[in-house]
Amino acid sequence: MKKTILATAVLTASCMSYADYQFEVAGVIGQGEIEAGNNSVDTDSYGIGGEFHFQQVDTSKGPLAEAAFLDKSSFVDFLYTSTELDLPGADDTDTFGFGGRFVTATNLIIEADYSEADDGTNDADSVRVGIGTYLNDTTDVVVSYQADSEDGGDDVDTLNAAVHGVNALMQGASLAYDASLSYIDTDDDDGFGIDVGATYYFNNALGIGVTAGVAEIGDIETDSFTVEGSFFPMPELELAAWYFNDNTDDGNVDFESDGFMFGAAFRF
């Protein structure tokens, strides 16, 4: 049965036409669990977001999920998320962010993002700026600086270098990849982070990806793992699902969070 469903999805995707777009709106819902030592709590979350491109995005250059990247599109975006802990009297954590990516005629890339979060007790905000270039029509590299601050917590400064690429394979398939290296500096310690990921596109509408990351800052070690899938049943509609798992060990208590997210995006 599972093979039949996958075969149907592949066949449907391979027969679809292209549809350029300029605006995308998306929504996600999810459930998860946070564990700290022997204690655990369930979480429910949802989010909405949007992306406006300054010009129509040409979707004929490769996987639909990579259309904006392959077309070197400039855009602005926003995102709002809310996470609820399954505890009596617990406040929701609300996060709002906006930003943009701008690509010049000479392939120069300029990025900027801002986000703030409020859990009912403390506020946190993050500012990120980046600059980079397209190495060729299907590969870019961006160097960015990010400053994070939280009420009652450490300030964190991160310098990151990241590369993203999409390679065409045989019979309409493609492979996208990501890799990044970060230097992380806090009030008390410094450290590093490494992230890698890859997505295999069976065709321009169906892809399955895996990402993994590790970081070490003083006595704190973290690792993360994500599996995700994306499918366009029609050129204007994307359906996505992913599983995530994050672990943090501060030398005293192990923290783990995992869960599933489901989303949909509509383009027009």
Q: What is the pLDDT of residues 42-75, one digit of tens each?
A: 999 999 999 999 999 999 999 999 999 999 999 9
Residue 170 CB coordination number (10 Å): 5
Residue 15 confidence class, pLDDT cut points 50, 70, 90: very low
Which pLDDT score is estimated for 4?
A: 39
Q: Which domain holds residue 146?
A: 2-267
Query: CA-CA distance, 245 to 194, in Å (whole number)?
Result: 16
Phi/psi-derived region of residue 172, left when phi > 0, alpha when psi is between -120 and 50, beta in every other case = left
Query: CA-CA distance, 242 to 247, in Å (whole number)?
Result: 17
Residue 37 confidence class, pLDDT cut points 50, 70, 90: confident
CATH number of residue 138's parent domain: 2.40.160.40
Contact assessment for residue 195 and residue 212, using Cβ atoms and an 8 Å cutoff: yes
Query: CA-CA distance, 223 to 214, in Å (whole number)?
Result: 4
Which pLDDT score is estimated for 88?
A: 83
| Mean pLDDT computed over 232-254 | 94
Contact assessment for residue 34 and residue 205, using Cβ atoms and an 8 Å cutoff: no
Any idea how long the chain is? 268
Which pLDDT score is estimated for 268?
A: 96
- Asked whether the whole model's pTM tops 0.85, one would answer yes
| Mean pLDDT computed over 229-247 | 98
- The three-class DSSP label of residue 205 is coil
- Whether the pLDDT of residue 121 is over 90: the answer is no
Residue 18 confidence class, pLDDT cut points 50, 70, 90: low
- Whether the pLDDT of residue 8 is over 60: the answer is no
Contact assessment for residue 198 and residue 207, using Cβ atoms and an 8 Å cutoff: no
- The residue to which tokens 């036409």 are assigned: 17
- Whether the pLDDT of residue 13 is over 70: the answer is no
**Mean pLDDT lowest among 15-19, 34-38, 143-147, 247-251:** 15-19
From 205, 204, 222, select the one nearest 213 (Cα to Cα). Answer: 222
- Whether the pLDDT of residue 17 is over 70: the answer is no
Contact assessment for residue 226 and residue 244, using Cβ atoms and an 8 Å cutoff: yes
Which pLDDT score is estimated for 119?
A: 86
Domain count, the chain: 1
Please give the single-letter amino acid code of residue 128.
R
Which pLDDT score is estimated for 253?
A: 80
**Mean pLDDT lowest among 90-104, 143-157, 229-243:** 143-157
